[in-house]
Structure 1
Amino acid sequence: MTSWQIVRIVAGCFILLSLALGMPGSPLFVDQWWLAFTAFVGVNLLQSGITKWCLMESILRKLGVRAGN
């Protein structure tokens, strides 16, 4: 698996988890402030798409994960 695939899988899991924890109708609801984490992940995805730089991908590459195409 390449670094960009891992970044997108982790981002997707974070978004789904924070939505489950932040939506009042969810059986896992904790607090609506979890939706701020959803926004944080979205902003980071937007930033990495515009700047073509992602901190998590840089960290994964330093850990030896293969870079994507």
Structure 2
Amino acid sequence: MSVDRAVMLFAGFMVLVSLALGVFVSPYWFWLTAFVGVNLMQASITGFCPAAIFFKKMGLKPGVAFS
């Protein structure tokens, strides 16, 4: 698995978890959904993604987007 795929998988997982928590626990969890979305937009513009750095350190091979 490449860093790009791991980042997309992690972001999708976080969106689904935060949506479930927002529906079943507290609407304040929707702020996590917004944070993930803003982080994805920021990463697409700047190329800086903390999750990508973490996955690189974990030994995943670099992809095209986060080189």
Using structure 1 for the length normalisation, give the TM-score.
0.86
Higher RCO by CA contacts (8 Å cutoff, separation 6 or greater): 2
Query: Paired residue for 2:31?
Result: 36
Q: One-letter code of the match for 2:10?
A: V
Q: CA deviation at 1:32?
A: 0.5
Query: Paired residue for 1:62?
Result: 57
Q: CA deviation at 1:63?
A: 2.1
Cα deviation digits, residues 22-58 of structure 1 (max 9, x gap) = 12xxxxx000001000001011001000101111101
Structure 1 moving runs of 4+ over 3 Å: none
Quote the Cα distance in structure 2 between the aligned partners of 1:56 and 1:17.
Answer: 17
**Is 1:21 aligned to 2:16, yes or no?**
no
User: May I ask how many residue pairs the two structures share in their alignment?
Assistant: 64
The structure having more radius of gyration, on CA atoms, is 1
Matched residues, percent identical? 44
Please report the RMSD computed on the Cα atoms of aligned residues, expressed in angstroms: 0.9
Per the alignment, in what secondary structure is the counterpart of residue 27 of structure 2? Answer: coil
Using structure 2 for the length normalisation, give the TM-score.
0.88
The range that moved more, 54-63 or 10-19, is: 54-63
